[in-house]
Amino acid sequence: MVFVYGTLKRGFPNHPLLAASGSPLVGAASTATPASLVVGPYSVPFLLPRPSSSSGSHLVSGELYAVSPRALVDLDALEGTHLGVYERRKVTVVVEGGSGEVVEAEAYFAHTSYTEALWLRCGGEAAEIGEYTMEHAAKDLDPQLQVALKGYLVARGVNSKLASSLHHHLVEKERTEDH
């Protein structure tokens, strides 16, 4: 199970990777305890592997997916785990809805090597948020970066069908926004 809180959620720029992998949505979920979520450079969301220090501590909202081992390899490539950008860590989440089931999952956290520097750069506790929204994502990727992302994914061994699906989604989004 993987908990996603940013650009992998439905309707966001990287969701086609999950959709094309056939990873089923378990449901909307949130962290069981407050967590530090910040929006870093280029509007990229980062869950930080540190306790939330905000006096108004936030449970982080997202989605829970049942992910196959192959899809996990593709997600690791997208998130740059081999480059030290993100690292997959355990997180306890609560599935929203009638059951309120508590589930142990994994999520992509900012790599510990730069957590504190990122937290300070983003503004510390004043910058912590509970949900990454479309307003954050709208600033995310310009068209040139979208093409570069597809090339990066293919070069890193991400299934070219998934990379093409992601690229097609981004091009369609841009085309419809231009009209």
Query: Is 63 among the catalytic positions?
Result: no
pTM for this predicted structure: 0.76
Domains and CATH numbers, the chain: 2-140 (3.10.490.10)
pLDDT single digits (tens) 107-134: 999 998 888 888 888 877 778 888 998 8
* Identified catalytic residue from 79, 96, 128, 131: 79
Model confidence band, residue 162 (pLDDT cutoffs 50, 70, 90): low
The two three-digit tokens of residue 104, written as one number: 């142990």
The closest alpha carbon to 82, from 47, 48, 108, 46, belongs to: 108
Task: Quote the CA–CA distance of 169 and 153 in Å, as a whole number.
Answer: 15
